[in-house]
């Protein structure tokens, strides 16, 4: 059944023959000519069609997984089949965020019902799970915001933060492979209480508390907008490397870096610069995880077949650079299927023509898209870990 599904998906794309000559900003993006058949066969060669992304990854000493939301996992059996077909690792897209665990206002023990349901599913299917995310300015419960105003000052903020990290990490001790301890520290978010009150020290406090609570979970610093060839992201890459240097110099137990990989289809990649960036991280002795891979096609021109091929090309280039570094240990898709895409409930990311974004590896009918082939091909050609 799954096999037939996959064959029809490949046939569908190999049969479209759509032209995809579209200019992209930045870098030297390909493809620039040809058709989908030759693109998939020549640019994205893969090993046996029947191999899952999980097994391709395992064969290279990597992992492959995806983000899941508990209600979708519960309600959609096709989503579960897609997870079981391709994934070896799950990450709750929302269920482990602080604000998602607050069923009553105020400082009460977190309610992990949603995350536990994902974990139970993962266990039943022999999948691993990682934690996302302990400290993020977009997931602060409202009672915390009020407490920080009512009892201002460094000590009160530090104690709320450390208690939270300790409570979450202790509750999941021994069950999660990694924790995204601090998420998007370089974001320009308005509600950045921790940075405003504690300065950069909030990162130190969070990592030390996490290490103490679960010495075995890999501790990750996760950041978006580090991949593409534009001036904002170029600056962010430099700032991110400086931040890492400062943290490591202070003995903060950062063990890995999460490069989110929310790619924008209308931007390109500067392979050499990206490679140098990965090289710097490798030189610091840190591992890298691609934590949230998908492609926003809202800024791209062309029909959906054209956009899909260009998105696939971008993913391939990004992953080829990433995986050429042996310290890159795995990939997680944030949008596994276009049917359940976070872009659908994010109005400021909607396409102007009203057509839904096609960010995922599978389409809305769970058929493999060129992005799936790009991931498969990049993993197949990765160096062995
Ligand atoms: O559950 C309600 C649903 O009942 C309602 O119909 C729907 C209508 O808007 O909203 C649903 O809740 C949404 C929820 O995602 C579940 O889909 C929230 O409004 C929405 O704010 C929430 O967005 C999440 C966002 O983080 C904010 O926490 C996205 O799912 C999630 O994919 C996104 O993930 C982040 C990573 O954590 C960090 N990196 C960037 C990434 C994308 O923004």
Please check whether residue 327 is in contact with residue 337, taking contact to mean a CB–CB distance below 8 angstroms.
no
- Nearest atom in ligand 1 to the alpha carbon of residue 334 is 32
pLDDT at residue 234 greater than cutoff 70: yes
Average pLDDT, the chain: 92
pLDDT at residue 4 greater than cutoff 60: no
Instruction: Please give the average per-residue pLDDT across 297-304, as a whole number.
Output: 93
> What is the three-state SS of 196-248?
HHHCCHHHHHHHHHHHHHCCCCEEEEEECCCCCCCHHHHHHHHHHHHHHHHHH
Which region among 37-51, 53-67, 195-209, 265-279 has the lowest average model confidence (pLDDT)? 37-51
Q: What radius of gyration do the chain's Cα atoms show? A: 21
pLDDT at res. 5: 56
Under the banding of pLDDT at 50, 70 and 90, the label for residue 20 is very low
Under the banding of pLDDT at 50, 70 and 90, the label for residue 328 is very high
Instruction: Please give the average per-residue pLDDT across 368-372, as a whole number.
Output: 96
pLDDT at res. 139: 94
pLDDT at res. 24: 42
pTM metric for this prediction: 0.93
Give the tens place of pLDDT for each residue, 71-99. Answer: 999 999 999 999 999 999 999 999 999 99
Which residue CA neighbors atom 8 of ligand 1 most closely?
345
- In DSSP terms, 377 is beta-bridged to none
Instruction: Please give the average per-residue pLDDT across 196-222, as a whole number.
Output: 97
Q: Half-sphere exposure of 373 toward its Cβ, with a 13 Å CA cutoff? A: 31
Give the tens place of pLDDT for each residue, 339-367. Answer: 999 999 999 999 999 999 999 999 999 99
Q: In the block, which residue shows the tokens 């160096």?
A: 383
pLDDT at res. 29: 44
Calculate how far, in angstroms, residue 44's C-alpha sits from the geometric centre of ligand 1: 32
Q: In the block, which residue shows the tokens 């109005």?
A: 347
Instruction: Please give the average per-residue pLDDT across 240-257, as a whole number.
Output: 98
Instruction: Please choose from 92, 296, 345, 350 the residue to mutate so as to test ligand 1's pocket, defined by most ligand atoms within 8 A of CB.
Output: 345
CA 115 to chain centroid, in Å, comes to 18
The token pair that represents 346 in the structure block = 């994010």
- Nearest atom in ligand 1 to the alpha carbon of residue 224 is 39
Instruction: Please give the average per-residue pLDDT across 193-212, as a whole number.
Output: 95
Which region among 31-45, 105-119, 362-376 has the lowest average model confidence (pLDDT)? 31-45
pLDDT at res. 38: 84
Which residue CA neighbors atom 13 of ligand 1 most closely?
345
């Amino acid at each position: 059944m799954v096999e037939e599904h996959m064959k029809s998906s490949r046939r569908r794309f190999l049969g479209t023959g759509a032209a995809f000559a579209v200019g992209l900003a930045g870098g030297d993006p390909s493809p620039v000519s040809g058709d989908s058949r030759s693109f998939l066969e020549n640019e994205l060669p893969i090993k046996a069609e029947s191999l899952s992304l999980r097994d391709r990854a395992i064969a290279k000493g990597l992992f492959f997984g995806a983000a899941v939301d508990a209600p979708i996992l519960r309600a959609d059996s096709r989503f579960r089949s897609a997870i079981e077909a391709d994934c070896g690792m799950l990450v709750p897209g929302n269920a482990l965020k602080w604000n998602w665990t607050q069923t009553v206002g105020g400082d009460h023990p977190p309610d992990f019902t949603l995350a536990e349901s994902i974990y139970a599913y993962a266990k039943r299917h022999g999948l691993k799970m990682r934690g996302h995310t302990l400290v993020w300015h977009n997931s602060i419960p409202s009672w915390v915001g009020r407490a920080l105003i009512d009892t201002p000052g460094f000590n009160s903020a530090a104690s709320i933060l450390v208690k939270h990290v300790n409570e979450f990490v202790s509750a999941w001790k021994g069950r999660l492979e990694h924790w995204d301890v601090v998420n998007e520290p370089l974001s320009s978010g308005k509600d950045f209480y921790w940075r405003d009150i504690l300065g950069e020290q909030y990162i130190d406090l969070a990592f030390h508390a996490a290490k103490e609570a679960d010495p075995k979970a890999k501790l990750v610093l996760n950041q978006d907008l580090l991949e593409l060839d534009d001036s904002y992201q170029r600056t962010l890459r430099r700032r991110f490397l400086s931040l890492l240097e400062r943290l490591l110099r202070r003995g903060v137990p950062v063990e890995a870096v999460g490069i989110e990989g929310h790619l924008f289809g209308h931007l390109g990649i500067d392979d050499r610069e990206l490679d140098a960036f990965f090289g710097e991280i490798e030189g610091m002795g840190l591992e890298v995880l691609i934590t949230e891979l998908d492609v926003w096609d809202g800024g791209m021109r062309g029909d959906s077949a054209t956009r899909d091929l260009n998105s696939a090309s971008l993913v391939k280039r990004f992953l080829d650079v990433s995986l050429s570094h042996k310290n890159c240990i795995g990939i997680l898709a944030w949008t596994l299927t276009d049917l359940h895409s976070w872009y659908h409930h994010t109005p400021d990311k909607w396409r102007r023509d009203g057509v839904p974004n096609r960010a995922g590896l599978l389409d809305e009918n769970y058929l493999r898209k060129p992005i799936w082939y790009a991931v498969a091909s990049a993993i197949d050609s990765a160096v062995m870990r």
